[in-house]
């Protein structure tokens, strides 16, 4: 079979698996977030935390609980990183430098998992599993919770009640993320992923050299890294490392894991608003964008344009033999279409246009299908913008699933959309203004790409990198930390506020003039609005970077 | 005493984080470690170590360098891909080169330690070295015969346009011979260390040359992997090494070729990934079947 045909089958098999799973799995997710029963373990957790699980929260109270939890998480993780040398299993590594600890604490709490450090020579096993991996779970749960609140805003009527943050957090973690991670970790161990507490085994190689075969609780962290669209690798090489991703089929499984929750959440939306077709429409928008992006990334990488790929005969620099070019490209597209940011190949060495695709995926706002939760709420905001644009054209008050999109709603939606482009572009400009672009490894347009990629990744909470950039300096760690923090929590507050204002409304029954939002026409309009918004925002920056390099 | 609301919510947050840390940060990974100790999984979770005479010599998942102390390839072994992990295949420093597709101009400093070859020159140098080691044609497009990137800095009278005034082969320094004698009638100069011809206004112009479109040295032999620990090489790269390895071991090339085929894995289910040869496993099998006397 040719490389291209095998790559096409690889993508197709993923699409088929996701199409088969998203309904039953989405139904399960729906039962978890909409149910009223509390298990005994959960009741125990609520007692220990000291919260009343039946108490409903307004959007403001929900937001304050979420922000308090995240603030405490940042401080806790910061302290953990600074004190790791005093703790068990530190492997002799010293405390993480202050600006680095700030960056990493923010990075993992915001579900970004941008890593300025090489894992195998910076982090002890305890800080990896009890510090970083815990945030992999809870930051993912926070994202899903926010999406659920927005959906409640559409589904509920004339109320301020939007659920309870502590209940959502606990349920999503214990009923969805934990059991699936256990399962995934076991399968990954069967594939060859390591899971031990060893500090490493020194071996003497065949030709008499020395090699330290590293250890670590990798499988347990790898599972939630993918499932929670986190992406922070245990090792520097992330999912390219044979101990994180040993075979071609674990590679398939990892891509599946990072797409499965985001693609199943639209089903939750459809069920909760009582119109499953609305959920299908949202999933269809995600699928159209994702398939287009995966296809283009594969096409650019397989075409292998550029001086070095031409000299080599393939775009194989920074790719592993066991994955090959197409499966690496599919992973790269999937990791940037979600907010994962783990990598199984070096995006920096991609062809100019292939690398641009990974950047473009993030610039889309990571909505196709996006990070766990973040993808759904991002897509619903885009749907709101789309009905507004369509409403302007025909001169009617826009509405979406029965809720009117008035001036307050559209203001919140616009603010939501503006945050990450503003952070990414202002950040990139300030790096050049202050001379901090000098830490880029490459020169010319590719250096601009490295800087632009870093800020796009941080502002959209992706976490992947054009890794040639040396980002471990005080300026970079501080600036990217600020972008990650604002890029995560400002949009979340806007979404919660939007949910609050939607939930207060009495739904308007659909009339003659209502734009049907569950038809292919609407799907096409949302795709169009998404692509046009991104093109208008980022085209000038892309023209100076990857387009200048690749055309 | 009732706590103020803002304090109460932060205390609840702290308690929630601690409870979840115990569950997700300790119970879950440690239970997974325990599951991983079960027979059948223990080998995998321990790092897939291979032992020879009771001594660990590596991991089947982690590639290694088959070079001597001086970094030269040991000819009786199949060679791994180039690696950007530390000094090569160092699991404590994993990663890729991260050089871009248009990294074609070397930094040639006056201090050799500060010089940095471009990705193109690395590719060309590797191709030439592999060609010489394995007795195949090491030429590649955009590469000079002496194994650097064939790249000119072309200076024109009006910047981007106008007649050519000066041409420098940016990756070649004395005592090399310029890979082209002249370009559009202008003689090609060698580069001088420490000079930046691109900033000076030279237009970067890679020259394709007359190398075959499909070089004899396969792509994976001239590129570094993403992890720097790639345990595999392509079947094509194994194939060009067969003659050398067989000669060094006084073995029948056909027998060595059969062994290579034994250690070649195809695509999983016929469509996942790409075919590869596990180099460590192959070399271990070689040592067993065709020991060097």
pLDDT in tens, A290-306: 999 999 999 999 999 99
Last residue of a domain, one of B206, B239, B261: B206
Instruction: Answer yes or no: is B34 within a domain.
Output: no
B186-191 and B161-173 as β-strands: parallel, antiparallel, unpaired?
parallel
Interface probe with A: pick from B5, B9, B14, B16, most Cβ of A within 10 Å: B16
Out of B44, B47, B272, whose CB is closest to A215?
Answer: B47
Q: Tell me, what's the pLDDT at A231? A: 93
Dihedrals φ, ψ of B282, to 5°? -65, -45
- For B189, the domain range is 112-206
pLDDT of residue A392: 86
Would you state the pLDDT for residue B1? 61
Instruction: Classify residue B169: in a domain, yes or no.
Output: yes
Nearest residue on chain B to A141, alpha-carbon basis: B20
Give the A:B interface size as CB pairs under 8 Å: 394
Backbone angles phi, psi at A147, to 5 degrees: -60, -40
Among residues B206, B237, B261, the one where a domain terminates is B206
Contact A349 B99 (CB under 8 A): yes
Chain A environment of B17 (Cβ under 8 Å): 69, 72-73, 76, 134, 138
| A353 vs A341: CA distance, rounded Å | 18
Provide the shortest C-alpha distance from residue A535 to chain B (in Å): 24
Q: How many structural domains are present in chain B?
A: 2
Q: Which chain A residues are closer than 8 Å to B16 by Cβ?
A: 45, 49, 69, 166, 169-170
Per residue in A198-249, pLDDT (tens digit) is 999 999 999 999 999 999 999 999 999 999 999 999 999 999 999 999 999 9
* Contact between chains at A468 and B124 (C-beta distance less than 8 A): no
- Do B20 and A313 lie within an 8 Å CB cutoff? no
Q: What is the pLDDT of residues A510-522, one digit of tens each?
A: 887 788 999 999 9
Is A195:A220 a contact under the CB 8 Å cutoff? yes
Does the distance separating the beta carbons of B119 and A308 come in below 8 Å? yes
Encoded tokens for B139: 């030429």
Domain positions in chain A: 3-550
Q: Which residues contact B52 (CB under 8 A, 6 or more apart)?
A: B284, B287
Question: Least CA distance to A120: which residue of chain B?
Answer: B92
Question: Among residues B206, B237, B272, which one ends one of the domains?
Answer: B206
Residues of chain B in contact with residue A321, where contact means CB-CB under 8 angstroms, are: 81, 220, 225, 230, 232-234, 274, 276
Q: Check A327 against B273: CB less than 8 A apart.
A: yes
Count of Cβ atoms closer than 10 Å to residue A430 Cβ: 14
Contacts of A334 (CB under 8 A, 6+ apart): A255, A258, A259, A290, A294, A340
B228–A321 C-beta distance less than 8 A:
no
Asked if residue A223 lies in contact with residue A181, where contact means CB atoms within 8 angstroms, the answer is yes
The answer to whether B32 contacts A343, with C-beta atoms less than 8 Å apart, is: no
Nearest to A345 among B226, B270, B283 (CB): B226
DSSP result, A291-333 = HHHHHHHHHHHHHT-SHHHHHHTSS-TT--TTTHHHHHHHHHH
Instruction: Provide the 3-class DSSP secondary structure of residue B170.
Output: strand
* Same domain assignment for residues B159 and B195: yes
Burial grade of B22 (CB within 10 A; 0-12, 13-18, 19 or more): middle
Q: Find which of A195, A217, A358 to mutate to test the B interface (most B CBs within 10 Å of its CB).
A: A195
Out of A169, A181, A242, the one facing B61 most closely (by C-beta) is A242
Spatial neighbors of A53 by CB under 8 A, at least 6 apart, are A38, A42, A43, A46, A164, A166, A167
Return d(Cα A239, Cα A231) in angstroms, integer.
9
Q: Does the pLDDT at position A388 exceed 70?
A: yes
In chain A the first and final C-alpha atoms are separated, in Å, by 31
Give chain B positions within 8 Å (CB) of A194. 44-47
With beta carbons under 8 A apart, name residues in chain B contacting A11: none
Query: Distance (Å, rounded) from C-alpha B15 to C-alpha B53?
Result: 52
Q: Is residue B40 part of a domain?
A: no
| Measured distance CA(B122)–CA(B55) in Å, rounded | 35
H runs (alpha helix) in B171-252: 235-248
What confidence score (pLDDT) does residue B3 get? 81
The distance of B252 to chain A (nearest Cα, Å) reads 22
Which residues of chain A lie closer than 8 angstroms to B249, CB-CB?
none
Distance in angstroms (rounded) separating the CA atoms of residues A386 and A237: 40
* C-beta atoms of B45 and A189 within 8 A: yes
Q: Tens digit of pLDDT for each residue in B168-207? A: 999 999 999 999 999 999 999 999 999 999 999 999 999 9
Residue B6 lies in a domain: no
Q: CB-CB: which of A50, A173, A237 is closest to B20? A: A173
Report the length, in residues, of chain B: 293
B243 is a domain residue = yes
Which of A222, A230, A302, A322 is most worth mutating to test chain B (most B CB atoms within 10 A of its CB)?
A322
B97/A236 CB distance under 8 A:
no
Q: What's residue A515's pLDDT? A: 87
* Cα A281 → chain centroid: 21
The answer to the question of residue B149 being in a domain is yes
Token pair, residue A361, equals: 């995926």
CA angle B132, B283, A328 (to 5 degrees): 80
Cα–Cα distances in Å, from A70 out to A175, A277, B13? 21, 34, 8
Residues B177 and B119 in one domain: yes
Low-confidence ranges of chain B (pLDDT < 70): 1
Q: Please report the DSSP string for B43-85 in residue order.
A: HHHTT-EEEETTEEEEETTS----B-TTS-B-TTS-------S
**Closest Cα to residue A135, out of A195, A41, A65, A71?**
A71
pLDDT at position A512 is 79
Q: What's the gap in Å between the CA of A329 and the closest CA on chain B?
A: 11
Q: Same structural domain for residues B140 and B90?
A: no
B131 part of a folded domain: yes
Looking at the fold, whether B128 and B185 belong to one and the same domain comes out as: yes
Report the distance separating Cα A349 and Cα A168, nearest Å: 41
DSSP assigned state of B143? B
């Amino acid at each position: 079979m040719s490389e291209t045909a095998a790559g096409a089958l690889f993508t197709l098999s993923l699409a088929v698996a996701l199409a088969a799973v998203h309904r039953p799995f989405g139904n399960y997710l729906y039962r978890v977030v909409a149910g009223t029963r509390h298990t005994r373990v959960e009741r125990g957790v609520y007692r220990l935390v000291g919260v009343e699980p039946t108490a409903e929260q307004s959007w403001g109270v929900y937001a304050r609980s979420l922000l308090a939890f995240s603030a405490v998480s940042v401080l806790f993780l910061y302290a953990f990183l600074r004190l790791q040398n005093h703790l068990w299993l530190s492997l002799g590594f010293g405390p993480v430098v202050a600006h680095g600890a700030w960056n990493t604490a923010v990075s993992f709490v915001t579900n970004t998992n941008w890593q300025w450090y090489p894992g195998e020579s910076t982090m002890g096993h305890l800080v990896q599993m009890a510090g970083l991996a815990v945030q992999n779970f809870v930051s993912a749960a926070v994202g899903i919770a926010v999406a659920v609140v927005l959906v409640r805003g559409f589904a509920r009527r004339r109320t301020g009640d939007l659920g309870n943050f502590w209940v959502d957090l606990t349920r999503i973690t214990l009923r969805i993320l934990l059991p699936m991670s256990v399962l995934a970790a076991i399968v990954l161990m069967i594939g060859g992923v390591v899971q031990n507490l060893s500090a490493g085994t020194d071996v003497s190689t065949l030709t008499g050299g020395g090699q330290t075969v590293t250890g670590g609780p990798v499988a347990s962290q790898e599972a939630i890294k993918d499932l929670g669209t986190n992406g922070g690798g245990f090792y520097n090489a992330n999912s390219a490392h044979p101990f994180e991703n040993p075979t071609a089929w674990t590679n398939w499984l990892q891509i599946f894991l990072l797409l499965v929750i985001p693609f199943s959440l639209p089903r939750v939306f459809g069920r909760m608003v009582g119109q499953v077709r609305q959920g299908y429409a949202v999933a269809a928008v995600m699928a159209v964008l994702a398939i287009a992006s995966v296809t283009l990334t594969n096409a650019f990488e397989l075409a292998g344009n550029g001086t070095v790929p031409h000299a080599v005969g393939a775009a194989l620099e920074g790719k592993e033999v066991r994955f090959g070019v197409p499966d690496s490209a599919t992973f790269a597209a999937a990791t940037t279409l979600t907010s994962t940011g783990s990598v199984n190949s070096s995006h920096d060495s991609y062809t100019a246009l292939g690398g641009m695709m990974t950047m473009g995926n993030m610039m889309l706002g990571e909505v196709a299908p996006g990070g766990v939760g973040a993808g759904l709420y991002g897509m619903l905001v885009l749907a709101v913008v789309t009905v507004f644009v369509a409403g302007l054209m025909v001169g009617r008050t826009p509405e979406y699933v029965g809720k009117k999109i008035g001036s307050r709603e559209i203001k919140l939606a616009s603010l939501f959309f503006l945050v990450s482009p503003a952070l990414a572009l202002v950040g990139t400009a300030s790096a050049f203004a202050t001379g901090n672009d000098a830490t880029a490894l490459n020169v010319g347009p590719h250096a601009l790409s490295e800087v632009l990629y870093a800020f796009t990744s941080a502002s959209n909470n992706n976490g992947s990198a054009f890794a040639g950039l040396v980002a471990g300096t005080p300026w970079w760690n501080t600036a990217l930390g600020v972008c990650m923090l604002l890029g995560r929590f400002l949009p979340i507050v806007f979404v919660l506020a939007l949910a609050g204002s939607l939930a207060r409304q009495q739904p308007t029954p659909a009339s003659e003039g209502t734009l049907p939002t569950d038809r292919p026409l609407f799907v096409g309009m949302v795709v169009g609005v998404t692509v046009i918004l991104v093109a208008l925002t980022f085209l000038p920056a892309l023209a100076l970077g990857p387009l200048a390099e690749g055309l | 005493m009732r706590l103020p609301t803002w304090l109460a919510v932060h205390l609840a947050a702290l308690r929630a984080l601690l409870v979840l840390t115990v569950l997700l940060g300790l119970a879950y990974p440690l239970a997974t470690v325990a599951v991983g100790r079960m027979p059948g999984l223990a080998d995998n979770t321990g790092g897939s170590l291979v032992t020879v005479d009771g001594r660990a010599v590596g991991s089947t998942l982690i590639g290694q360098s088959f070079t001597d102390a001086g970094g030269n390839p040991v000819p009786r072994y199949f060679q791994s891909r180039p690696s950007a992990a530390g000094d090569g295949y160092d699991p404590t420093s994993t990663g890729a080169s991260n050089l871009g597709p248009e990294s074609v101009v070397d930094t040639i400093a006056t201090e050799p330690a500060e010089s940095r070859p471009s990705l193109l020159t690395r590719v060309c140098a590797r191709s030439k070295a592999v060609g010489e080691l394995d007795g195949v044609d090491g030429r590649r497009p955009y590469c000079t015969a002496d194994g650097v990137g064939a790249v000119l800095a072309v200076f024109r009278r009006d910047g981007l346009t106008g007649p050519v005034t000066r041409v420098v082969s940016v990756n070649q320094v004395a005592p090399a011979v310029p890979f082209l004698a002249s370009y559009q009638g202008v003689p090609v100069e060698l580069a001088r260390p420490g000079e930046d011809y691109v900033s000076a206004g030279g237009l970067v112009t890679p020259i394709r040359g007359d190398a075959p479109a499909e070089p004899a040295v396969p792509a994976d032999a001239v590129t570094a992997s993403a992890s720097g620990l790639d345990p595999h090489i392509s079947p094509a790269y194994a194939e060009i090494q067969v003659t050398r390895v067989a000669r060094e071991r006084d073995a029948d090339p056909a027998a060595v070729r059969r062994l290579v085929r034994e250690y070649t894995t195809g695509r999983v289910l016929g469509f996942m990934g790409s075919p590869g040869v596990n180099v460590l496993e192959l070399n271990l099998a070689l040592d067993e079947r065709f020991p060097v006397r």
